Chains A and B, each alone.
Chain A
């Protein structure tokens, strides 16, 4: 790069920075009204799309052959979205329009379009296991708060609970992870690898324990600290667990529990290994451990 080009680029940066100042002629109210208006138009279109399948059914019932428009023409913001969620203490499963199977762990939510366009994009809060139907021409993307996970016909688990570290674990196939809009800085995972959020960054490592054991209704812990286990129980069962005995938090446990046992029962079983008492205050949904 020549000096002139170098200089040009740094001048351009100054211009770009200056573009971020408020400018005299700005009328943000007018722009906002425009935005609201456009949103309203598009929600009307959304409503129209929602009744479209019904109309289609009527047309078909009348025995008239009708080819639906290619789904790609309807992709993006204009599609109705569906939501499957699993409340605390329960799991849920759903099959997406493309045949992909999803299992949702407790306290989790999946939002997806009723029809997929040129890409299959779904939004996840919490934890889910995906068995993605392979379709190379139409990437499957799980969008989370933290990262975008692009699957290429695979089985993988994502855990993105609020207040917990983000983890993606790959069981079969291949996935590509990147920050929204920054695809060029993404990375691939191989089977048995996971990406774990840690101290503001991400670390890639191999996993030993099956990260998707929960899919079969088990919560399994392998030499995990009490602190870790309690934080998981809080997430899965939506309770608050207060430890009144500090040193307990560093104890490690190994064990496998049935998801249907519930937090109290799991804690009771654990208290046989290292003794502590469990007290439950139902009014405040809190379990005290001492």
Chain B
């Protein structure tokens, strides 16, 4: 792929898995998240020659992933609303939709993003950081973490909350 305007391979390697993790935060379905991200990359690959150098590719990537996730959640909610709206899964998806719509994609284009995130994490006390890093998708696996570390679920919950609050303080210019 030498000589092309965009080094697609490097771009793909850097962002593919991160984009999937990002999508998973909202749509909680691994194969769907993978499908969405894969489609976006295929689309970008096909258009790589017409993608101008002025477009920030990371911004383009995450805008597309965000929009496809929003469409996915909207469709899911629309289909479900016929049968049973207001149940727990429905509420979770609605919240995901709100959270995703609120996510400001421009931060993905920041050169210093990874440094900033790592710096913010390094501010957390070690135990708190460990628990935060182990936690998977919201509301799940807290019992697993508690079991693994030999602490109570309450401890995990309170440490998570401390982590969030500290991180939000550290990253306040990036989070709405």
Distance to closest chain B CB from A52 (angstroms): 20
Q: Interface 1/0s, chain B 82-124, versus A by CB < 8 A?
A: 0000000000000110110011000110000110011001000
The answer to whether A16 touches B25 (Cβ under 8 A) is yes
Query: Cα distance A212–B115 when bound, in Å?
Result: 50
The answer to whether B26 touches A20 (Cβ under 8 A) is no
Name A84-109 residues within 8 Å CB distance of B. none
Question: In this assembly, does A55 line the interface, its C-beta being within 8 Å of a C-beta of chain B?
Answer: no
- With A5-B95, A12-B99, A14-B164: A29-B13 Cβ-Cβ less than 8 Å: yes
Query: Cα distance A29–B10 when bound, in Å?
Result: 10
Name B3-19 residues within 8 Å CB distance of A. 9, 12-14, 16-18
Question: In this assembly, does A181 line the interface, its C-beta being within 8 Å of a C-beta of chain B?
Answer: yes
Question: In this assembly, does A165 line the interface, its C-beta being within 8 Å of a C-beta of chain B?
Answer: no
> Residues of A contacting B45 with CB < 8 Å?
35, 39
The answer to whether B16 touches A77 (Cβ under 8 A) is no
Most buried by B among A13, A29, A32: A13
- Chain A residue nearest to B133 (CB atoms) is A18
The answer to whether B107 touches A181 (Cβ under 8 A) is no
Partner of A16, one of B12, B22, B98, B164: B22
Name A209-243 residues within 8 Å CB distance of B. none
Question: In this assembly, does B79 line the interface, its C-beta being within 8 Å of a C-beta of chain A?
Answer: no
Partner of B175, one of A14, A28, A125, A145: A14
The answer to whether A14 touches B168 (Cβ under 8 A) is yes
Distance to closest chain B CB from A199 (angstroms): 14
- With A14-B167, A14-B175, A123-B50: A19-B95 Cβ-Cβ less than 8 Å: no
- With A20-B114, A28-B16, A32-B9: A125-B22 Cβ-Cβ less than 8 Å: no
Q: Interface 1/0s, chain A 20-31, versus B by CB < 8 A?
A: 111100101101
Query: Cα distance A180–B46 when bound, in Å?
Result: 14
Question: In this assembly, does B130 line the interface, its C-beta being within 8 Å of a C-beta of chain A?
Answer: no
- With A17-B175, A35-B41: A22-B167 Cβ-Cβ less than 8 Å: no
> Residues of B contacting A77 with CB < 8 Å?
42-43, 46
| Contact count band on B | 35 or more
The answer to whether A31 touches B18 (Cβ under 8 A) is no
Query: Cα distance A57–B95 when bound, in Å?
Result: 54
> Residues of B contacting A276 with CB < 8 Å?
none
Query: Cα distance A14–B116 when bound, in Å?
Result: 12
> Residues of A contacting B66 with CB < 8 Å?
181
> Residues of B contacting A20 with CB < 8 Å?
18, 21-22, 108, 113-114, 117
- Chain A residue nearest to B67 (CB atoms) is A181
Question: In this assembly, does B140 line the interface, its C-beta being within 8 Å of a C-beta of chain A?
Answer: no
Query: Cα distance A175–B15 when bound, in Å?
Result: 34
The 5 closest A-B pairs by CB, nearest first: A28-B13, A19-B21, A12-B99, A181-B67, A19-B22
Q: What are 5 A-B interface contacts by the 8 Å CB criterion?
A: A12-B96, A18-B117, A21-B18, A21-B117, A26-B17
- What 18 additional pairs, Cβ within 8 angstroms, besides A1-B98, A8-B138? A9-B95, A9-B99, A13-B99, A13-B176, A14-B167, A14-B168, A14-B175, A17-B107, A19-B18, A19-B24, A21-B114, A22-B18, A22-B114, A28-B12, A28-B14, A38-B38, A39-B45, A183-B67
* Residues of B in contact with A (beta carbons under 8 Å apart): 9, 12-14, 16-18, 21-22, 24-26, 38, 41-43, 45-47, 50-52, 55, 60, 63-64, 66-68, 95-96, 98-99, 102-103, 107-108, 113-114, 117-118, 121, 138, 164, 167-168, 171, 174-176
